[in-house]
Structure 1
């Protein structure tokens, strides 16, 4: 929520000052609210994603890189063919959790007047003076999307485990 407010309130002020100074011609009023919300959520997700990917790379044993060098691979080849697939497989559960967390965090967009699923449910509820049905529908939508993401991650994880399951352990 704090990142959302900082980007929503602070970024346009900084952008307008820079646009005036450098004569860019594009001001904050030209940028849609959707772009600001996506920027705020992306900044938050980027910080967490970098840690998830870093932990995935640290999960790969050092011997894997040495083995790739021993068969004549360059550093790029070793990382691309050996290290990265294993790191991605180790990072996949964390990436799935982050994507679902960002999905749920997107419901905070109504705080800056962007109508998303939760905001529309609140608006419909206030028009009908009945909040249970629209909020239940919003919960089912979030649950359905989260279930699809989880199933996709399970399929990808099965693929990566099949890929990295061969060889001598």
Structure 2
């Protein structure tokens, strides 16, 4: 009679799956950093109502939020090489770029960055707009430039407001990295699928990978709580 669960195979699969953890974390953290830059840029465009760019940013956010991440990954993976090849053949641009050697991790990073940028844009915009307008006026009255005002006064206060939502988006992104196996990236989910097919023990490896995701998300949650507390203390220091 077949056992319900092969405990030995489950335990043995952990090291192999964990060995791919840097890929998962790297894509999640890298896309968060790039996504923050995209999000801040699009948020400022909407706040300052920059002509033309405001319309483009609104379309970008609407498209990303209205389409599945899986589709976006495919669009980046198949679209970017096609665009590069078109520019090379039609205009002679980017001749030094060989799309055949671009690692699938790069496409995954770009897709996730573009996706996160749209969601973080709205989070950052609402956080900036939540800062008391008196702070803007006070910064202007002492002769601060718009850049100085944003970096020294507005962003630190907006960060404290935005951290919980940024954290939720980041945790969702960690779990969504399980999709990158479809374009050939061997992350922890991809490694689990490979191990499952080798030993015909999919139930065991999926239990293992779910535990790893769970622990990883718990660790991130704890770190975010600490970061939020520090940001709140910094915010109170500015206000005083």
Asked if Structure 1 and Structure 2 have the same fold, meaning a TM-score greater than 0.5 normalized by the shorter chain, the answer is yes
Alignment of 1:17 with 2:86, yes or no, is: yes
Cα 1:25–1:69 shift into 2, 3 Å: closer
Measure the CA separation in 2 of the matches of 1:143 and 1:26: 39
- Greater shift, 49-58 or 76-85, is seen at 76-85
Residues 19 and 27, structure 1, Cα contact 8 Å, conserved in 2: no
More RCO (CA 8 Å, sep 6+): 2
In structure 1, the partner of 2:194 is 123
Measure the CA separation in 1 of the matches of 2:199 and 2:137: 66
List structure 1 segments (4+ residues) > 4 angstroms apart after TM superposition: none
In structure 2, the partner of 1:74 is 144
- In structure 2, stretches of 5+ residues that fail to align are 1-69
* TM-score calculated relative to the size of structure 2: 0.65
Give the Å deviation of 1:125. 1.1
Paired residue secondary structure (1:60):
coil
In structure 1, the partner of 2:158 is 87
Give the Å deviation of 1:73. 4.3
Paired residue secondary structure (1:118):
helix
Alignment of 1:3 with 2:100, yes or no, is: no
1:11-160 correspondence runs (5 A): 11-21=80-90, 22=92, 24-70=95-141, 72-75=142-145, 76-160=147-231
In structure 1, the partner of 2:45 is none
Measure the CA separation in 1 of the matches of 2:201 and 2:148: 59
Measure the CA separation in 2 of the matches of 1:40 and 1:85: 28
Q: Alpha-carbon deviations, 1:16-71, whole Å to 9, x = none?
A: 1212331513231121111111111111111112221111101111112223344x
| RMSD of Structure 2 on Structure 1 (CA) | 1.7
